[in-house]
Chain A
Amino acid sequence: MSSSPAHALHPKEHEAPKVAAEPPPAAAAVREPATVAIIARWYRLNKGRLRAALIGAVSLVAFLVVWHLLTKYRVVFFVRFTNVPSPLDVYNSSTKAMRDPKFLMHVLLSCRRIIFGFALASLIAVPLGLIMGRFKLIHEVVFPVSEVLRPIPAIAWVPMAIMLWPTNEQSIVFITFLGSFFPILVNTLHGMALVDPVLVRAARCLGARETSIFREVYFPASLPHIFTGLTVGMGVAWVSLIAAEMISGQYGIGYFTWEAYSLVQYADIALGMIAIGVLGLTSSLLIRSAGRLAMPWGRT
């Protein structure tokens, strides 16, 4: 989808780069300049991105160097770096952890909780939001309750969750569920409210009935907002999960990080934090690519 605007108006031309991408198998002499031209064009189209990647890499390296220096000289300047592990310490403990089944189990358990909690939240919040957006009565009944519960952070539910659910595992999944539920619901509602009324009218005078309008207009029109909700919801799900694991867990990457502090294994604290970051990033990338698959009409 990164074609230049010049291609937009000429469908035949638009196909050109694809054809050129597979040079004719014959004539090796022809192949050379064609490949060069493709590389040159690719470079021109992606110059901006290359630049960003390069600068990004430099800045990451700089971050590691600063971290290294701060810990090497045990800088104390308001903030105390005395006990903070160095990047190398963290690297060493990560290679060890990769081979440690216990660490992998912590990671897998956290992932399982996220999947259950998040999937449950999406499966309930998206349809609920769509229905609330379409049927006034349901909106009027559900909205006040949701507005009262929404401002309560998922963490504040921990004691209540422990009372509500028989097992620790269930209450943690419940906390994760609560964290992602409201962002998804609110964004779905927002998407429904923003559906262009002209599109609804256009559908009606093309003979569409209520259910068709819902399926063909309201749902696809809300999809971009639904995916925004899913992305935000996933972020909050991780926040809630880690907090819940730190407070009441026995397993999970949040528990691992907290336990490392109790056991004075400082390198593992940073390792746990980095693992959480990587997991969060991966899950939001997954959602973004799902969004791209579900909405082929969007640019990006």
Chain B
Amino acid sequence: MSVIEATAAAGRIEVKNFALSYETIDGSVAAVTDTQIYVKPGEFVSIVGPSGCGKSTLLNAVAGFLKPTAGMVTVDGEEVKSPSAERGMVFQQYSLFPWKTVRENVEFGLKMRGMDRSRRERAARTLLGLAGLEAFEKHYPDRLSGGMKQRVGIVRALATGPKVLLLDEPFGALDAQTRVIMQQILTNMWQRLKISVLFVTHDIDEAIFLSDRVYCMTARPGSIKAEIPIPLERPRQQSMMMSSEFLALRRGLMSLIREESLKAMGGEISDQGLQGLNINLHGQSLADVL
């Protein structure tokens, strides 16, 4: 298991005075403005926010695919300038190489690093075993279910022993049951590897269940609206999602997001309309919850 040695002290992500605009024909579009976030080594942090608020933009900048317009991103004090195997990434779309078997996919990062065939084969087998995928090592991705594909995607990103793992709505396309299992698997791997995780999702339950801390973003141009620590103890069980503590956190986050979603839609949907549907989210004040 030497490939996945825990790098406990490393993996501090810092995003300072960050802004990013896209250049389009209509001028520059601010996707993210004035954003500060950090992830401590070994911490699990989620970002939630309404659709289009710039979550993917922020994550892609941390990965090194996008250059910030202002501010900077550092990992362990070093500025992020381009993608590297030190920052593993899992994408929302399935991104396994269709022409490689499951094991060859997992081996890819090690191959790029120049590890010889037999060693990387052994390493890939060990990792696939941890994720319960050893029986599928010779399969091509198109024969796997969506959940298995994402599991392989996570294992592939972890194979090179990155300091941080970035995930962009990795379970968005999965059904509810599979999602829950995947969350459990991700939690297990994270605890075993003591790696820092930055996790983007629009699923509030998922964010609370997985994270040590949750950042909530505003509607576009995105910035950080709130930072919510999740003091639930670990290991966390599925049953926890019914606890009053969990539900209180959920209500708080829900109303934060809802405000922003309304803004994102132009604020045209009035509360009255929602009350007609017997939905009342303002029953509890925000201050009570947080």
> Chain A interface (Cβ within 8 Å of chain B)?
8-9, 11-12, 196, 198-199, 201-209, 212, 216-217, 220-221, 223, 295-297, 299
Contacts and interface: CB of A to CB of B under 8 A. Distances in A.
A130 to B, nearest CB: 15
B4 interface: no
Contact of B108 (A12, A196, A198, A216): A216
Interface in B140-192: 140, 142-143, 145, 156-157, 160
B93 interface: yes
Main secondary structure of the interface of B (DSSP, over half): loop
Interface residues of B, number: 32
A199 B95 contact: yes
Interface string B48-92: 000000000000000111000000000000000011110111010
B145 A205 contact: no
Contact of B91 (A202, A212, A223): A202
Nearest to A297: B140
A209 B160 CA distance: 15
Give the interface centre of A11, A12, A204, A206 by most chain B CB atoms within 10 Å.
A206
Interface string B242-284: 0000000000000000000000000000000000000000000
B136 A220 contact: no
Contacts of A212: 112
Give the interface centre of B84, B99, B108 by most chain A CB atoms within 10 Å.
B99
A12 B135 contact: yes
A296 B101 CA distance: 10
B132 interface: no
Contact of A206 (B85, B93, B138): B85
A18 B199 CA distance: 44
B160 A198 contact: no
Nearest to A221: B99
A107 to B, nearest CB: 37
Give the interface centre of A12, A207, A220 by most chain B CB atoms within 10 Å.
A207
Given A12-B135, A205-B64, A208-B112, A220 B99 contact: yes
Main secondary structure of the interface of A (DSSP, over half): helix
Contacts of B91: 198, 201-202
B97 A11 contact: no
Given A9-B145, A206-B156, A201 B83 contact: yes
B65 A201 contact: yes
B229 interface: no
A206 B135 contact: no
B98 interface: yes
A296 to B, nearest CB: 8
Given A8-B143, A212-B112, A207 B85 contact: yes
A163 to B, nearest CB: 45
Contacts of B138: 11
19 contacts: A8-B143, A9-B145, A11-B138, A12-B135, A198-B91, A199-B95, A201-B89, A204-B83, A205-B88, A205-B89, A206-B85, A206-B160, A207-B112, A208-B108, A216-B108, A220-B99, A296-B140, A297-B98, A297-B142
Nearest to A200: B95
A207 B84 CA distance: 5
A12 B108 CA distance: 26
B13 to A, nearest CB: 15
A294 to B, nearest CB: 10
Contacts of B95: 196, 198-199, 201-202
Contacts of A207: 84-85, 109, 112-113, 160
A201 B156 CA distance: 14
Can you list the 10 inter-chain pairs with the closest CB atoms, starting with the nearest?
A: A207-B85, A206-B109, A220-B99, A207-B112, A205-B83, A202-B95, A297-B140, A204-B83, A205-B89, A198-B95
Given A206-B156, A208-B112, 9 more contacts: A201-B91, A201-B95, A206-B85, A206-B88, A206-B108, A206-B109, A206-B112, A207-B109, A296-B140
B117 interface: no
A205 B85 contact: yes
B236 interface: no
B119 interface: no
Nearest to B89: A205
Contact of A297 (B99, B136, B160): B99
A113 to B, nearest CB: 34
A217 B97 CA distance: 8
B139 interface: yes
Contacts of B113: 207
A204 B135 CA distance: 28
Interface in B87-140: 87-89, 91, 93, 95, 97-100, 108-109, 112-113, 135-136, 138-140
B112 A205 contact: no
